[in-house]
Every structure is written in structure tokens, then in C-alpha cells.
A = this chain, B = another copy of it.
Amino acid sequence: MHFTSETTANGVVERRFTHADVPGVLWTAPGDPSARPLVLLAHGGGQHKTAPGIAGRAHRFVAAGFAAAALDAPGHGERPRTEREERVSAEIRSLVAAGEPAVDYVARYHAEVASQSVKEWTSTVDELWTAGIGTDRPVGFFGISMGTGLGVPLVAAEPRIAAAVFGLAGNEGLADAAGRVRVPIEFLLQWDDEMVPRDSALALFDAFGSAEKSLHANAGPHAGVPRFEVDSAVRFFARHLLA
């Protein structure tokens, strides 16, 4: 893991890094971050590790006592946009234009990417722990939309993750992995989501094997998650990771 830059803004230290050719970013409070639990932030489709939603959440989590880290997903951000991502974008646009549901197609794409991204996240936690970030503390995961498509297989496979916020995704291709998730989850659903059928999202929430799980459904479209849900996520991670 190579740290390539360090800047400080609003009391938050932002360090860019590269690990095994994956570009990432780490947000911490100034000083020794080793005692603070790490929250992993997975971005949505077409976004990247420092998209405004991700950076905004990172600052909120650092202010609340955590360290936060994000990676560019395969084919996203600073990573080469492969032929696969070009093909997937075009196919989704054409399905949507034809009024066809894209969920099954998107689910297959996420499953393909997850086989790679799960390894990248797991290896990044190894390296961050070695670097003294959140070492031996429970880890949190926050990822909605594609962040859930890639995050459910990660949380199912990664025993260091002790709490997760998911949402904006349906059960296509995810139900089995969701059943293996046993940690507390908070699940965000947009009641008027134009991309994810409501029944499919409710079925995914139902599929999680967690004894403690909370669904937060809000009126509005896919991109309309209310800002107060980030406050709720902060409190959720505080309950489970800072106790």
C-alpha cells in the first residue's frame, strides 16, 4: 500500500493510496487513528471513491469517531473503463429506453464484478490494519445501489465486518449471500424507486439472515435518499462499533 498524497480539510485528513493497482482514499481524524473503527464506503454504479455522496459520508463518519476508506470499483473512477463497463452502460441504457427491466442484467454484472471487488476490499482491510488503521476493531460497511450489489457478497464473506448499511437494491442474485449475512444491518429503500422494484427490495431485506435488521423506506426516487439517513447510519455504526 502506497500513500500518494495527504491533505487536510475541515479537521479531516484525506490520504490517497494505491494498493495492488486499486486506487483508494482514507479519511481519518488528525493524530493516531489506530483506536478508531474503520467504515468501508462502497460507491454506486458510474460513481467513484470521492464522489460527493461518498466524501460527505466520510467526513460525517470521521466527525463521529470512525476512520473511513473508499476504493474505486473495477472499471470506475481512476481505473481503466474496460470494454465490459462500456457494454454494460450501453445495454442498461437500451433496456431502460425500451422500458424493459434491467435488474437481472445488472445483477449478473454485479456478480461478475463482486468476484474481483470482494478480494480487493479484503486485501485493503489487511493492509489498513497493518498500517495501524482500525486494527483489530470491528469494521463497518456502507454501500447502497451497486455498493449493495458488491457489498452483500463482501459482508457475507468477511468476518471482520460487524455491521452494514445496505439499500437501493433488489434480491436478484443476492438472496443467497444475504442469507449468510448475520451481522446487524440497516437497509435503505426508496418507496418510489424507478430502478429497483419495491417487492424485490423488500424480498432482499427479508432474505438477510441478521437477527437485528432495520428497513428504512422513504418516499421518493432512487437518488432521493434523505440526508437524515446518513445521521441514522452514524448512530447505527456508533451502537455497533463504538460500544
Query: Which A residues contact B (CB, under 8 angstroms)?
Result: 189, 191, 202, 205-206, 210-219, 226, 228, 231-232, 235, 239
Supply 16 further A-B pairs (C-beta < 8 A) apart from A205-B217, A216-B216.
A189-B215, A191-B206, A202-B202, A210-B219, A211-B219, A213-B218, A213-B219, A214-B219, A214-B226, A215-B216, A215-B217, A215-B218, A217-B217, A228-B239, A231-B235, A232-B232
Partner of A214, one of B205, B206, B212, B216: B216
Q: How far is the CA of A206 from the CA of B232 in the complex (A)?
A: 22
Distance of A213 from chain B, by nearest CB (Å): 5
Partner of A215, one of B191, B213, B228: B191
Which residues from B are CB-within-8-Å of A214? 216-219, 226
Q: How far is the CA of A124 from the CA of B21 in the complex (A)?
A: 67
Nearest B residue (CB) for A215: B217
| A219 contacts B212, C-beta separation under 8 Å | yes
Q: How far is the CA of A226 from the CA of B231 in the complex (A)?
A: 18
6 closest residue pairs by CB, A with B: A215-B217, A213-B219, A214-B218, A216-B216, A212-B219, A214-B216
Which residues from B are CB-within-8-Å of A191? 205-206, 213, 215
Which residues from B are CB-within-8-Å of A202? 202
Q: How far is the CA of A232 from the CA of B232 in the complex (A)?
A: 8
Quick one: which of A211, A214, A228 has the most chain B CB within 10 A? Answer: A214
Q: How far is the CA of A219 from the CA of B187 in the complex (A)?
A: 12
Q: How far is the CA of A227 from the CA of B217 in the complex (A)?
A: 19
Distance of A65 from chain B, by nearest CB (Å): 18
Q: How far is the CA of A231 from the CA of B213 in the complex (A)?
A: 17
Q: How far is the CA of A64 from the CA of B160 in the complex (A)?
A: 36
17 A–B contact pairs at CB < 8 A? A189-B215, A191-B205, A191-B206, A191-B215, A205-B217, A211-B219, A212-B218, A213-B218, A213-B219, A214-B216, A214-B218, A214-B219, A214-B226, A216-B216, A217-B217, A228-B239, A231-B235
Distance of A243 from chain B, by nearest CB (Å): 13
Which residues from B are CB-within-8-Å of A218? 212-215
Q: How far is the CA of A217 from the CA of B215 in the complex (A)?
A: 5
Which residues from B are CB-within-8-Å of A206? 191
Q: How far is the CA of A149 from the CA of B52 in the complex (A)?
A: 42
